[in-house]
C-alpha cells in the first residue's frame, strides 16, 4: 500500500488513489473487536512474560529448602506473610518462585511438543491431501493407528521403559499428538488442491514442491496456527498428567504437574498446595484455547458457524 | 490434457509439429498457458497481483533481475488494461473483470504460442464480457496468439473463433469454419444447437429444437451414434454403428446421414 504514484495515465484526475485496507489491516480491526482473542492473548502474554522474567519476579530461589519455614500458608490465610505470598511447600521452598519457574517448563514442553507434532503432522497431512489415492490411504491408515493408541497410556509405557526426563517427555509427547495436525491439514489440502489456482500454478510449470510450499501452504497457515495453539494446551496438560503420575519431569525441577502431584498428599489440610498450580495451569490452557479460537475467528470469519 | 495436467489415454496432441507427451512440463508451460473459467478461484487469495502475474516467470527460472521483472509486470499489466498501481493489491480487492484481466496477464507474460481459454467470460457480467473479449481479440493481433476457446456461448464463439468444433458427449461431431458452421450446420446436433439460441424478443417463445428432454448419462453413453436417442433423423444404422469423423466438402462431420 505504499504506492502513491499518480502520474501514470490510469490515475490522472480520476481520484483513484484511494488506498484499500490491506488484508493485514482488516485483520487488525477484527482482532481489536474480538473479546476472546484479547482476553486469551493477554493471559498467554502475561504467562510468557512471567517465564521470560522469572529470575526477576521470583522472590526466592525455587530450589532452596528450609525446613524451619515449611508449610507457611499464602497471604490471604491468617498465618500468611508477605515474605512468602503464596506460602511454602512441605520442604520449605517458596511456592511463588516454584510457580514462576514452573511455567518455564510448561511453556517449553508445550512449544517443543507442538513443533515436533506440527512437522510430523504437516508432512503427513500435506502429502496425503496433495497426492491422494494410495498415498492418502497409507497416511489415513497411519492416522487411524495413531488415534487408536491412547496418548497417555503410550507415554506412560515409554517413559516407564526408558525412564523419565524432560527430553524424553518432549519427544514422546511430540510424536504422539500430531494426529490433529495431520487430519486437519489433509482435509484442507484436499480442498485447496481442487481450486483453479493450484492448477494454474502447475500449468505455469511449477514443481510439486513449489506448488505445495508456495501456493498451498500460505493458505493453510491459519489452520496450522490455530491447531498449534490448541495443541500447546494439550501438550501442557499431558505433561502435567505425566508428572502427576511420577512419569514426567523429575523432582526437584519445578513443574506445575509435579507441584500438584507433590501437594496431593497434604491436600486435606493444605489445599492451596494443589489449587495454586491447578489454577495456573487452568489459566494457561484456557488462555491458549481462547487465543486459538479467537485467531480462527479473526483470520477466517467465513468458517464460523 | 494439453497443459500436461491430465494423462493422455489415447491419441496424441501436437504443438508446432512436436508431440506434447515428449515435452517436459516446463516446455509445455512455455508454449501453452491457461485462462480459467472462474476468476474468483483461479487467483491465489494470499498472493499480491504482481506475484500472481509473474508466477510463470519465477516458476521457470527466467525472472531476471528485480528491475527487469518489475518492468515486465508493469508492461504486461498495461497490455491487459490494468493500472500498474494495482500491483500490490490482493485479488479480493479486485472486481471480476479485473481478476480475469490478471488471469490473462499471467497467461501471456511468458509470450506463449497457445492460450487455452476455458469459458473465459461465462463467470462475468455481460458488459465485462464484451471488454474481456475485445481485449482477447486485440491481444491475439498484437502478440500473434492462438486461442483454444472452450465455450457454450454461441455468440462468443461466433465473435472470436475462426474454426469451430462442436462436441456432444465428449466427442467432436462437426468441425468447420465459423461462418460455415453458423450458416449451414450439417450435423443434426449442431443444427439443434444453433436453433436453441434464445432470442431477445419474448413474444417468439422458446425455440423448438426437437431434442426431447432425456439427456443421456455421459458415463454410460448410448450405443452407436451417441446422439441417436435425441435425433429426429435417426435410422437403423445409427443405433448400432458409431459414425467416424469424415471429411464432407469443407467440414469434418461424424454422422451417417448429414444434412445438406
Choose, out of A197, A209, A302, the residue to mutate when testing the contact with B (most B CBs < 10 Å). Answer: A197
pLDDT at residue number A138: 92
A contacts of B90 (beta carbons < 8 Å): 22-23
* Closest chain B CA to residue A20: B93
| CATH superfamily for domain A27-303 | MetI-like (1.10.3720.10)
Mind telling me how many Å the CA of B3 is from chain A's nearest CA?
6
Nearby residues of A304 by Cβ (< 8 Å), 6 or more positions away = A296, A297
A contacts of B37 (beta carbons < 8 Å): 196
DSSP assignment string, B141-202: HHHT-EEEEE-S-HHHHHHH-SEEEEEETTEEEEEEEHHHHHHS--SHHHHHHHHTPPPS-G
Tell whether the model's pLDDT for residue A12 goes beyond 60: no
DSSP assignment string, B231-258: -TT--HHHHH-PPP-EEETTEEE--SS-
Residue B177 sits at φ, ψ, to 5 deg, of -60, 150
DSSP letter, residue B222: P
Tell whether the model's pLDDT for residue A166 goes beyond 90: no
Q: Across all residues in chain A, what is the average pLDDT?
A: 79
Contact call for B60 and A1, based on CB within 8 A: no
Mark out chain A residues that contact chain B at CB-CB < 8 A.
Answer: 1-3, 5-6, 8, 10-11, 16-17, 20, 22-23, 195-197, 199-207, 210, 215, 218-219, 221
Nearby residues of B189 by Cβ (< 8 Å), 6 or more positions away = B166, B168, B173, B174, B227, B231
B76 vs A300: which has the higher pLDDT? B76
Counting Cα atoms < 13 Å in the Cβ hemisphere of B121 gives: 22
**Separation in Å, CA A154 to CA A157, A161, A169:** 5, 11, 11
* B167-196 residues touching A, CB cutoff 8 A: none
**3-state class of A303 per DSSP?**
helix
Tell whether the model's pLDDT for residue A11 goes beyond 80: no
Contact call for B55 and A2, based on CB within 8 A: no
Low-confidence ranges of chain B (pLDDT < 70): 1-5, 209-210, 212-213, 260
pLDDT at residue number A300: 63
Contact call for B44 and A215, based on CB within 8 A: yes
pLDDT digits (tens, 9 = 90+) for A237-261: 888 888 878 777 777 778 887 787 7
Pairing type for strands B114-118 and B32-35 reads parallel
How large is the C-alpha radius of gyration of chain A?
24
The most confident of A53-62, A112-121, A291-300, by mean pLDDT: A112-121
Q: Which of B59, B84, B90 is facing A205, going by the closest CB pair?
A: B59
Tell whether the model's pLDDT for residue A141 goes beyond 90: yes
Average pLDDT over residues A203-219: 81
Mind telling me how many Å the CA of A9 is from chain B's nearest CA?
8
**Separation in Å, CA A210 to CA A127, B72, B91, B187:** 13, 22, 21, 46
pLDDT at residue number B260: 65
pLDDT at residue number B189: 84
Q: How far apart are CA A91 and CA A103, in angstroms?
A: 20
A contacts of B54 (beta carbons < 8 Å): none
Contact call for B85 and A205, based on CB within 8 A: no
Per-residue pLDDT band for A18 (boundaries 50, 70, 90) equals: low
Q: How far apart are CA B19 and CA B134, in angstroms?
A: 32
Contact call for A22 and B90, based on CB within 8 A: yes
**Per-domain residue ranges of chain A:** 27-303
A contacts of B45 (beta carbons < 8 Å): 219
Q: How far apart are CA A140 and CA A146, in angstroms?
A: 10
B contacts of A20 (beta carbons < 8 Å): 89, 93
Name the grid cell of B145.
Answer: 496468439
pLDDT at residue number A1: 40
Mind telling me how many Å the CA of A208 is from chain B's nearest CA?
11
Contact call for A218 and B59, based on CB within 8 A: no
Contact call for A8 and B56, based on CB within 8 A: no
Q: How far apart are CA A34 and CA A290, in angstroms?
A: 10
A contacts of B38 (beta carbons < 8 Å): 196
Choose, out of A205, A213, A215, the residue to mutate when testing the contact with B (most B CBs < 10 Å). Answer: A205
pLDDT at residue number A21: 63
Contact call for B56 and A205, based on CB within 8 A: yes
Tell whether the model's pLDDT for residue A264 goes beyond 70: yes
Average pLDDT over residues A34-54: 86
Domains of chain B (ranges; CATH) run 27-161 (3.40.50.300), 179-253 (no CATH)
Q: How far apart are CA B19 and CA B14, in angstroms?
A: 5
* Closest chain A CA to residue B58: A206
B141 vs A4: which has the higher pLDDT? B141
A contacts of B60 (beta carbons < 8 Å): 204-205
Instruction: Tell whether B62 is within 8 A of chain A (Cβ).
Output: no
B contacts of A10 (beta carbons < 8 Å): 83-85
Amino acid at each position: 500500500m505504499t504506492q502513491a504514484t499518480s502520474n501514470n495515465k490510469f490515475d490522472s484526475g480520476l481520484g483513484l488513489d484511494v488506498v484499500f485496507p490491506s488484508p493485514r489491516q482488516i485483520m487488525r480491526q477484527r482482532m481489536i473487536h474480538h473479546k476472546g482473542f484479547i482476553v486469551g492473548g493477554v493471559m498467554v502474554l502475561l504467562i510468557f512474560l512471567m517465564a521470560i522474567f522469572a529470575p526477576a519476579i521470583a522472590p526466592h530461589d525455587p530450589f532452596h529448602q528450609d525446613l524451619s519455614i515449611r508449610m507457611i500458608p499464602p497471604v490471604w490465610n491468617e498465618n500468611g506473610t508477605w515474605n512468602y505470598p503464596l506460602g511454602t511447600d512441605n520442604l520449605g521452598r517458596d511456592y511463588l518462585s516454584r510457580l514462576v519457574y514452573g511455567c518455564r517448563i510448561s511453556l517449553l514442553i508445550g512449544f517443543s511438543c507442538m513443533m515436533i507434532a506440527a512437522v510430523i503432522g504437516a508432512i503427513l497431512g500435506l502429502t496425503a491431501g496433495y497426492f491422494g489415492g494410495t498415498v492418502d490411504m497409507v497416511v489415513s491408515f497411519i492416522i487411524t493407528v495413531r488415534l487408536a493408541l491412547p496418548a497417555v497410556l503410550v507415554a506412560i509405557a515409554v517413559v516407564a521403559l526408558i525412564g523419565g526426563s524432560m527430553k524424553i517427555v518432549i519427544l514422546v509427547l511430540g510424536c504422539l499428538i500430531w494426529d490433529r495436525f495431520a487430519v486437519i491439514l489433509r482435509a484442507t489440502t484436499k480442498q485447496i488442491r481442487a481450486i483453479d489456482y493450484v492448477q494454474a500454478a502447475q500449468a505455469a510449470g511449477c514443481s510439486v514442491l513449489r506448488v505445495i510450499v508456495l501456493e498451498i501452504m500460505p493458505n493453510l497457515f491459519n489452520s496450522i496456527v490455530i491447531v498449534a495453539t490448541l495443541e500447546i494446551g494439550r501438550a501442557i496438560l499431558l505433561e502435567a498428567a505425566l508428572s502427576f503420575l511420577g512419569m514426567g519431569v523429575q523432582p526437584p525441577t519445578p513443574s506445575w504437574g509435579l507441584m500438584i502431584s507433590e501437594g496431593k498428599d497434604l491436600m486435606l489440610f493444605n489445599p492451596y498446595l494443589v489449587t495454586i498450580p491447578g489454577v495456573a495451569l487452568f489459566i494457561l490452557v484456557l488462555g491458549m484455547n481462547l487465543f486459538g479460537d479467537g485467531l480462527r475467528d479473526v483470520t477466517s470469519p467465513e468458517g464460523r458457524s | 490434457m494439453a497443459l500436461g495436467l491430465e494423462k493422455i489415454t489415447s491419441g496424441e496432441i501436437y504443438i508446432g509439429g512436436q508431440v506434447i507427451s515428449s515435452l517436459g512440463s516446463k516446455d509445455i508451460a512455455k508454449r501453452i498457458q491457461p485462462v480459467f473459467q472462474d476468476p474468483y478461484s483461479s487467483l491465489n487469495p494470499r498472493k499480491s497481483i504482481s506475484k500472481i502475474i509473474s508466477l510463470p516467470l519465477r516458476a521457470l527460472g527466467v525472472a531476471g533481475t528485480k528491475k527487469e521483472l518489475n518492468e515486465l509486470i508493469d508492461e504486461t499489466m498495461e497490455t491487459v488494461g490494468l493500472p500498474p498501481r494495482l500491483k500490490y493489491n490482493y485479488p479480493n480487492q479486485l472486481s471480476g473483470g479485473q481478476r480475469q484481466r490478471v488471469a490473462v496477464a499471467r497467461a501471456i507474460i511468458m509470450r506463449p504460442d497457445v492460450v487455452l481459454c476455458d469459458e473465459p467470460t461465462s463467470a462475468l457480467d455481460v458488459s465485462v464480457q464484451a471488454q474481456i473479449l475485445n481485449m482477447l481479440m486485440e491481444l491475439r493481433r498484437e502478440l500473434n496468439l492462438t486461442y483454444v476457446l472452450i465455450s457454450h456461448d454461441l455468440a462468443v464463439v461466433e465473435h472470436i473463433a475462426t474454426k469451430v468444433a462442436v462436441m456432444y458427449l465428449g466427442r467432436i461431431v462437426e468441425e468447420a469454419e465459423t461462418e460455415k458452421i453458423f450458416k449451414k450446420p450439417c450435423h443434426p446436433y449442431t443444427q439443434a444447437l444453433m436453433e436453441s439460441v434464445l432470442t431477445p424478443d419474448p413474444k417468439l417463445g422458446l425455440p423448438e429444437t426437437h431434442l426431447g428432454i432425456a439427456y443421456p448419462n455421459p458415463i454410460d453413453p448410448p450405443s452407436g451414434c451417441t446422439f441417436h436417442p435425441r435425433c429426429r433423423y435417426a435410422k437403423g444404422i445409427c443405433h448400432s454403428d458409431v459414425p467416424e469423423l469424415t471429411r464432407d466438402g469443407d467440414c469434418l462431420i461424424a454422422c451417417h446421414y448429414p444434412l445438406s
